[in-house]
Amino acid sequence: MKKLKIYRLKKGLTQKELAKLLNVQQNTVAMWETGKSKPPLDKAIKIARILGTTVEELFDFKDTPLAGR
């Protein structure tokens, strides 16, 4: 999740600072940034709000039509 790191750095936050705001460990943020794990939805929403973006932008969610519709 390369964008997570980019947005975090643009906001001037360290991994440790972001982790504190999210009430998680710094290594958890590191694992999200490297793609080794993904944040739960509640944390993803909070990350987006803290970093001033949307969940869709931050995690590259695309609005795709449902199959058969």
- Which pLDDT score is estimated for 61? 74
Give the model's confidence band at 65: pLDDT under 50 very low, under 70 low, under 90 confident, else very high. Answer: low
Q: Identify whether 53 is part of a domain.
A: yes
Q: Give the tens place of pLDDT for each residue, 12-58.
A: 999 999 999 999 999 999 999 999 999 999 999 999 999 999 999 99
Give me the pLDDT at residue 60, please. 79
At 9, the pLDDT band (50, 70, 90 cuts) reads very high
Domain-located, residue 68:
no
The domain of 54 spans 2-58
Q: Give pLDDT, residue 32.
A: 97
Look at residue 69 and tell me if it is in a domain. Answer: no
- Selection from 26, 62, 34, 57 nearest residue 44 by Cα: 57
- 17 contact partners, CB below 8 Å, separation of at least 6: none
Of 50, 62, 58, 64, nearest in space to 1 by CA: 58
